[in-house]
Chain A
Amino acid sequence: MAEPLLAVAGLRKRFGGLAVTDDVTFSVAEGGIHAVIGPNGAGKTTLIHQLSGTLRPDAGSIRFGGRELVGMGLARRARLGLARSFQITSVLAGFSALENAALAVQARSGPSFRFFRAAAAERALNDQAMTALEQVGLGARAGVLAGRLSHGEKRQLELAIALAMQPRLLLLDEPLAGAGPEETERLIGILLGLKGTYTILLVEHDMQAVFALADRISVLVYGRVIATDGPEAIRADPAVRAAYLGEDEAA
């Protein structure tokens, strides 16, 4: 059997007395969307932080494309092909949408210790950045300052930046967070369009979205993965229903 693209084993992280990542083991195969769901405070964002390199796990290993990631910083992992989006939008407000994406293209297009030529005039960077914006339906807004985009458009830009990195794995932390019903609809459509081209690890709260998108789902509760399976099996799993879905319906 081929090694999975991402293999997480025995990952642990404590904040004081609280085990936020508690012996987490799962793997993500190349292709498709693997979702991580779980109630508020289950430790989903903390998990993404450890995968992307903004937080160091207490124990465990994260293998990506055959390399150990633990101990490597965020920037290094990004250059290896691990792109993450943020639950709280994190774009460059003073840059245009195009320049936000072009920066990501630049990161994988040769050295950046170049001091003379105008970066904004580099066709190769702009063209690829434009492609990424068009993939998320932001092509028409390329020239607008990111800070002036609507909330939903910022979520789209967040995604476009990740795509512009041409990653091997996309880590998306609640890409639908804070989006209205129409925006959600649009973002789900965009994610469906990416399916097949990218391998995606999707953390998401919106159940409808998760069941519409994911090929596999891991359920995280109090830092533990209580089940990993296909959507139908997860929906039917009594432990999952008790811990999460039931609670969600009751709410």
Chain B
Amino acid sequence: MRAALILLAALAAAPFLGFGEGYSLTLLARVMILAMAAVSLWLLVGGGGMVSLGHAALLGIGAYAVVVLDDARITDAAVVVPVAMGAAGLFALVTGAVAIRTSGVQFIMITLAFGQMAFFTASSLAAYGGDDGYTLYGRTTVLGQRWLEDRLAFHYLCLGLLALTLFGGHVLLGSRFGRVLRAARENPLRAEAVGFRPYPYQLVAYSIAGAVAGLTGVLLANAAEFVAPSYLAWQRSGDLLFMVILGGLGSLQGAVLGAVAFVLLEEWLGHITEHWRLIFGPLLVLSVLFMKGGLVGMLRRG
């Protein structure tokens, strides 16, 4: 966990080390929010062996919960957060109940299909701007206070929730539940032979990851004060999956490293050239080819 802790400390200090102006804080918020999303996805991929290509939909559902409530002038976190987490968790529970009966490529395809379903649904929500998206009246309030409008407060909220997610994931994976989940990923037959049917464990993990993604979606909506169907698009799921793999499946902190590396690389290349995508793509390919175990694996080898 050391590398992730160093990163969290750096993020905590960043506003006082010359990254305190609007542009930097926006970028850092994006880093932390995507890292949180990547951690929840890591629980599925690295923890449970469930390679989902529909994770962005869960974030999007959390973000659209903010939209729907915002449209009804309900903005307090006491309502928004449980609704967003509940909606995304429930979507994960229902779609997971079907998807987890499959495995391998079929699982990837089914999660992709459910994700696209959510995407098209969001696109058709004319009341909330359809394809054009929806601009929030304001950020989520906490106990009626408009704290989140303060950029620094929002920065530390994102950081706090990221740390909490990382810690929570760590505890979860080490628990009895997590042990069964990890065993089922490594060797489902072995897990069954000692008496554990993987299905209920995987489904609960899927729902937990969904709820965490929903919470992340709340942050995502607040960061931009805007939500669009593109948040749910499969390309976003692909990016998240890539962060997880880039970071490495050997340890949960890989998700944070992967997300940070992904966003900063994207940002940096974007500054150098407008054709950055031409470089970014091959770089991703090379990193998968030559970095066995991802960034975590590289750090371990020293």
Contacts and interface: CB of A to CB of B under 8 A. Distances in A.
B196 A75 contact: yes
Contacts of A99: 179
Contacts of A117: 175-176
Interface string A67-96: 000000111101100011010001111110
Given A90-B189, A92-B186, A92-B190, A75 B176 contact: no
Contacts of B187: 90-93
Contact of A78 (B172, B183, B193): B193
B195 A118 contact: no
Contacts of B189: 54, 74, 86, 90
Interface in B240-296: none
A15 interface: no
A74 B187 CA distance: 14
B197 interface: yes
Nearest to A81: B195
A115 B179 CA distance: 10
Contacts of B172: 115
Contacts, number: 98
A112 interface: yes
B194 A78 contact: yes
A52 interface: yes
A107 B196 contact: yes
B192 A75 contact: yes
Interface residues of B, number: 24
B177 A52 contact: no
B176 A119 contact: yes
B174 A103 contact: no
Nearest to B197: A75
Nearest to B172: A115
A74 B174 CA distance: 25
Given A93-B186, A95-B186, A103-B180, A119 B175 contact: yes
Contacts of B126: none
A207 interface: no
B171 interface: yes
A75 B201 CA distance: 13
B178 interface: yes
B174 A107 contact: no
Contacts of B175: 114-119
B26 to A, nearest CB: 34
B194 A112 contact: no
Most chain A Cβ neighbours within 10 Å, of B178, B179, B197, B204: B179
A156 B1 CA distance: 33
A117 B174 CA distance: 8
A226 interface: no
A104 interface: yes
B61 to A, nearest CB: 23
A112 B193 contact: no
A74 B193 contact: yes
Given A113-B177, A115-B177, A118-B174, A107 B186 contact: no
Interface string B33-50: 000000000000000000
Interface string A115-128: 11111101000000
Given A75-B196, A78-B192, A106 B186 contact: no
Contacts of A170: none
20 contacts: A74-B189, A75-B192, A75-B193, A75-B197, A76-B195, A86-B193, A90-B193, A92-B187, A94-B182, A95-B183, A99-B179, A104-B194, A106-B180, A107-B196, A111-B176, A112-B196, A115-B171, A117-B175, A117-B176, A120-B179
Interface of B: 171-172, 174-180, 182-183, 186-187, 189-197, 201, 204
Given A94-B182, A161-B190, 16 more contacts: A54-B189, A74-B189, A76-B197, A79-B195, A83-B193, A84-B193, A93-B186, A94-B186, A99-B179, A103-B179, A103-B180, A104-B194, A106-B179, A108-B195, A115-B178, A118-B175
